[in-house]
Amino acid sequence: MVESILIGKPSPFCPGCGHSVVTHDLGRALEELGVDPLDTIVVSDIGCCGIVDGLLTSHTVHGLHGRSPALALGITLGLNNPRKKVIVIQGDGGATIGLQHVLEAARQNVDLTLLILNNMVYGMTGGQISGLSATEFKADRFPEARKIPPYDICQLAHNAGAAFSCRTFVGKKLLETLKTAIETEGFSLVEVIDMCPSHGVRKLKDLQQLADYPEASYQNHRTPFRVTPRETVSLLQDVEILKPEFKSSLEHRLRIILAGSAGEGIQLAGDLLAAAGMLSGLYCTKKGEYPITVGTGFSIAEIILSRDPVHYTGIDTPDLLFILSPDGLAKVKDRITATTRLIIDESLAGEVEQPPFIVRDFRGAGGKKGAALLAVYSWLKQSKLLPPEALKSIAEKHRKRDNLLRILQKEEMPTPEGD
Ligand code: SF4
Ligand SMILES: [Mg+2]
């Protein structure tokens, strides 16, 4: 006899909630089938049914609302091990939101079991109806919605190609139905009609009256979809290891922010600076922040250079702040402190109170896409914390080598008279 998947903690659900019954029966089904909890991966969805995780001794993964079948599909294909049982627990709300993911798992006939706990409401947000709410249940609450029939999720899954799909009420048949589903090779779906005493139906007797769905059970005799095992390849295998070629005089940790506009080479300049740091024997981290639109708005690169390993990569207030455009200034203005060293494009020098460490027409000299790199190179030449040659050496290895070297050359050129 295997151990139970259930920890034995008190149920976190409201008294009388149907989810407690389903969880209990799922535990029993796995136990009676002899499935070890450590061979079980439960993928839970957002919603009341998702709080089941804390009750289980199995592996658990909590997915985004409606997305748990897609997550489980990836886990099943990745594991590629028929001994492992992947079980998704989703509510009727999640199934409505993520219907396409349900159909896709059924269409591919991926070997997993999806339990849809259909209590006909979004319980966690106060009892709104879902796409699976029954017609009679909606009659008093939302008379106009009554005219719209619920999705027949079992029929849909069957038509999409599920090996097994079944609708049953919480009650005596549930245990055996769950066992059939878990034993099915391929995609199995069990829609359990259950109670939500807080926002939906309180009693089983009422449930049978108001949940006017027919019980149903379908099968497709199909081979489950599996992927051919492949040799695992490390994502880092093609990454070039930078061995120190230069020396840095940096003694303390330096937190640097490059602030400018999206599409103007801020991230590239940050990458090159971090790589130059590594080439100089330092530990370096680099993080990027920019709007999802990528080509408009601000762009921020945060770089930490350090003699010691960096365990926290966040920067609240930088030691060194490069400001290359109005977008960048607007984004970082409130992170300037009395000790921040500023390197700023001359067009913005009047916008900050404290005297900058370097002020220059970087945008004019390097072009808007080269201003950040030129500013970094200019700082390296003055501060000598890293050899400027390290940055040049990294630029020479880059696929945009010619462009980058052309920008760096601007720093070598004599400054025009009167500048
Ligand atoms: S709100 Fe409803 S579904 Fe959620 S735990 Fe309570 S009874 Fe169960
Ligand atoms: Mg629900």
Backbone angles phi and psi of 249, in degrees to 5: -95, 5
In this structure, the answer to whether residues 278 and 359 fall within a common structural domain is: yes
**Number of folded domains that form the chain:** 2
CB distance 177 to ligand 1 below 6 Å: no
- What is the pLDDT confidence band of residue 156, given thresholds at 50, 70 and 90? very high
Asked, for residue 212, whether it belongs to a domain, the answer is: yes
- What is the pLDDT confidence band of residue 417, given thresholds at 50, 70 and 90? very low
- 330 or 142, which is more confident? 330
- 293 or 76, which is more confident? 76
Distance 113 CA to ligand 1 centre (A): 22
- pLDDT digit string, tens, across residues 271-326: 999 999 999 999 999 999 998 877 789 999 999 999 999 999 999 999 999 999 99
Q: What is the mean pLDDT of residues 331-357?
A: 94
In this structure, the answer to whether residues 166 and 267 fall within a common structural domain is: no
- For a substitution probing ligand 1, which of 13, 116, 129 has the most ligand atoms within 8 Å of its CB? 13
Protein residues placing their CB within 5 Å of the ion ligand 2: 91-92, 119, 123
Q: Of the residues 192, 219, 246, which one is the last residue of a structural domain?
A: 219
Displacement of CA 24 from its chain's centroid (Å): 30
Asked, for residue 54, whether it belongs to a domain, the answer is: yes
Q: What is the mean pLDDT of residues 258-270?
A: 97
In this structure, the answer to whether residues 39 and 145 fall within a common structural domain is: yes
- pLDDT digit string, tens, across residues 3-25: 899 988 899 999 999 999 999 99
In this structure, the answer to whether residues 55 and 198 fall within a common structural domain is: yes
CB distance 17 to ligand 1 below 6 Å: yes
Asked, for residue 13, whether it belongs to a domain, the answer is: no
Asked, for residue 241, whether it belongs to a domain, the answer is: no
Instruction: Give the C-alpha separation, 339 to 75, whole Å.
Output: 49
Q: Whose CA is nearest to atom 1 of ligand 1?
A: 123
In this structure, the answer to whether residues 258 and 402 fall within a common structural domain is: yes
Asked, for residue 170, whether it belongs to a domain, the answer is: yes
Bridge partner residues of 398 (DSSP):
none
Q: Whose CA is nearest to atom 2 of ligand 1?
A: 196
Is the pTM higher than 0.75? The answer reads no
Distance 315 CA to ligand 1 centre (A): 42
Domain residues for the domain of 343 are 254-409
In this structure, the answer to whether residues 197 and 268 fall within a common structural domain is: no
Query: What integer pLDDT is reported at residue 32 of this predicted model?
Result: 96
In this structure, the answer to whether residues 297 and 356 fall within a common structural domain is: yes
Asked, for residue 230, whether it belongs to a domain, the answer is: no
State yes or no: pLDDT of 367 exceeds 50.
yes
- For a substitution probing ligand 1, which of 118, 124, 204 has the most ligand atoms within 8 Å of its CB? 124
Q: Would you give the end-to-end CA distance of the chain in angstroms?
A: 85
- pLDDT digit string, tens, across residues 159-172: 999 999 999 999 88
Residues of the chain above pLDDT 90, percent: 86
Distance 119 CA to ligand 2 centre (A): 5
CB distance 161 to ligand 1 below 6 Å: no
Burial class (CB in 10 A: 0-12, 13-18, 19+), 44: buried
- pLDDT digit string, tens, across residues 83-122: 999 999 999 999 999 999 999 999 999 999 999 999 999 9
Q: Whose CA is nearest to atom 8 of ligand 1?
A: 17
In this structure, the answer to whether residues 161 and 290 fall within a common structural domain is: no
Query: What integer pLDDT is reported at residue 229 of this predicted model?
Result: 77
Which segment of 197-201, 405-409, 410-414 scores lowest on mean pLDDT?
Answer: 410-414
Asked, for residue 93, whether it belongs to a domain, the answer is: yes
- What is the pLDDT confidence band of residue 418, given thresholds at 50, 70 and 90? very low
In this structure, the answer to whether residues 209 and 300 fall within a common structural domain is: no
Asked, for residue 1, whether it belongs to a domain, the answer is: no
Query: What integer pLDDT is reported at residue 413 of this predicted model?
Result: 64
In this structure, the answer to whether residues 213 and 258 fall within a common structural domain is: no
State yes or no: pLDDT of 414 exceeds 60.
no
Q: Whose CA is nearest to atom 6 of ligand 1?
A: 14
Q: Domain with 301 in it: what CATH number?
A: 3.40.920.10
In this structure, the answer to whether residues 165 and 282 fall within a common structural domain is: no
Mean pLDDT score of the chain: 94
Distance 13 CA to ligand 1 centre (A): 6
Which atom in ligand 1 lies closest to the alpha carbon of residue 18?
Answer: 8
Query: What integer pLDDT is reported at residue 419 of this predicted model?
Result: 40
Ligand nearest to the CA of 117: 2
CB distance 379 to ligand 1 below 6 Å: no
Distance 189 CA to ligand 2 centre (A): 16
Q: Domain with 36 in it: what CATH number?
A: 3.40.50.970
Distance 120 CA to ligand 1 centre (A): 11
User: How many residues does this entry show for the chain?
Assistant: 419
Which atom in ligand 1 lies closest to the alpha carbon of residue 48?
Answer: 4
